[in-house]
Every structure is written in C-alpha cells, then in structure tokens.
Amino acid sequence: MDTIDKQIISLLQGDAKITIKEIAHRLNLSTTPIFERIKKLEENKVITGYHAQIDKEALDLSLMVFCAITLKEHHANYLKKFETDIINLDEVLSCYHLGGNSDYLLQVVVSDISSYHVFITQKLANIENIATVQSSFVMKEIKEGKLPVF
C-alpha cells in the first residue's frame, strides 16, 4: 500500500459517498487508476464496506453504555458461546475481548435507562457464565473518528 492508496482510504473514511471523479480531482490523477486502486483495496479486504454515519439521537438511541464483563469460566467453549450470544444482541454495537481485569468490553446503545435495565435483566442476564457486569454511562461523546492513515 502506497501513499496514494492511503490518501484514497482517508478520503473514503471522511465521505463514503465521494465519487471516483472527485477523488481523482483531489489527488490530481485520472479516474481509471483511482477505480483500479479502490477495486484492489476491496479485493484485498482493506476496504471492507461503506457505511453511513447515523445520528443515534435521531433514532432515539441516546444512551451509550460501556459494559465490562467478567466471565466465571475461561475455557474456549465458554468464550465461543459468550461471543456467539453477544453477536445476536442488536443493542451491542461492538464487543472486545480484553486482557486485564475484565474479559470483555461491550459498547451498548439504547434509548434510555429503562431500556438499558431491560437489556441487562432480560437479555444479558440470560447469557450463561457471566460473573460480573460493570456499567459506565457515556455523559458526552467527545470524538468518534476514523482510522489514522499515515
């Protein structure tokens, strides 16, 4: 991956709807090599998709919570089962397997504290092998960014 590929990635991260013509104009190249580079980046799974950024509050999803999860057992089959169960929860935007005090960190989005209570008591509580859940509520989102492309 060279500097031009990185510039293309940076432009696409900023605006997934930017046209090949506009990218070519900004990079002072013709459209054909830009098209070919994007196609190659997609084929090599560097670009894995194109996404719209949605205002969470416009969808009445204004409460974001980070949940630190500790499991009772750590055998591979327990980890796999937990991960499979979490993948099926729509409220979970992201899930990270951690090293340290907690085993997993979930990013959860719901409409309000009542909805979060339902999530914890009716969904998360039904997942086997969870020892503890520690919730941290987002007061203000400071930065939601793109990957640094150097």
Tell me the pLDDT tens digit for each residue of 33-72.
Answer: 999 999 999 999 999 999 888 888 889 899 999 999 999 9
Average pLDDT of the residues of the chain: 94
**Average pLDDT of 124-132?**
96
**Average pLDDT of 126-143?**
95
pLDDT at 150: 65
pLDDT beyond 80 at 7: yes
For the ranges 10-14, 82-86, 134-138, the lowest mean pLDDT is seen at 10-14
DSSP letter (8 states) at residue 67: E
**Average pLDDT of 81-86?**
98
Q: Which domains does the chain have, with CATH numbers?
A: 3-43 (1.10.10.10), 56-137 (3.30.70.920)
At residue 116, φ and ψ (nearest 5 deg) are -65, -40
User: Which residues, at least 6 apart from 92, have a Cβ–Cβ distance to it below 8 Å?
Assistant: 86, 106, 107, 108
**Average pLDDT of 123-146?**
93
